[in-house]
Amino acid sequence: MKLGRTGLLTTLCLVFGSAAHAQGVTIAVSNFSEEFARLAVWLLVAAILFAMSYRIVDIVIPGKLRDQLAEGNTALAVFAGSLFISAAIIIAALVH
C-alpha cells in the first residue's frame, strides 16, 4: 500500500494522537508553521550551545582538538565524545 505525504501524516497523527489521548494528554497545535518555527528556534539555540561546548572542550584540552583527533588520539576522542554526549543531554533538558 503506497501512502502519499498526506496519508502518512494522517496516519502518524492518528497513531500518536490516540496514544496521547489515551494518556490524558491533549494535543494543541494551532498550525504547522508555528510549531515548525518553534522547532527551528530551539534547534538554533541547541546548535549555539553545542558549538559553545565544543569550543570549551577545545580550550580545556592541550592543543587543538581537531589536530589531536587527526593524529589518532583515541583517549581524547572518547573523552571529547563523552563531554559532547553530556552536553547534548543537558541541552535537550533545557530545550524540553
Residue 59 shares a structural domain with residue 86: yes
- Residue 39: what pLDDT? 82
pLDDT < 70 positions in the chain: 1-30, 95-96
- Residue 93: what pLDDT? 81
Q: Are 62 and 55 in contact (CB under 8 A)?
A: no
- Residue 11: what pLDDT? 54
Residue 24 shares a structural domain with residue 36: no
Per-residue pLDDT tens for 52-63?
A: 888 888 888 888
Residue 21 shares a structural domain with residue 3: yes
Range of the domain at 16: 1-29
Residue 22 shares a structural domain with residue 37: no
Residue 23 shares a structural domain with residue 45: no
- Residue 46: what pLDDT? 82
Residue 90 shares a structural domain with residue 69: yes
CA dihedral 31, 33, 36, 42 (to 10 degrees): -100
- Residue 5: what pLDDT? 52
Query: What separation in angstroms does the CA of 48 have from each of 43, 69, 77?
Result: 9, 22, 21
**Number of folded domains that form the chain:** 2
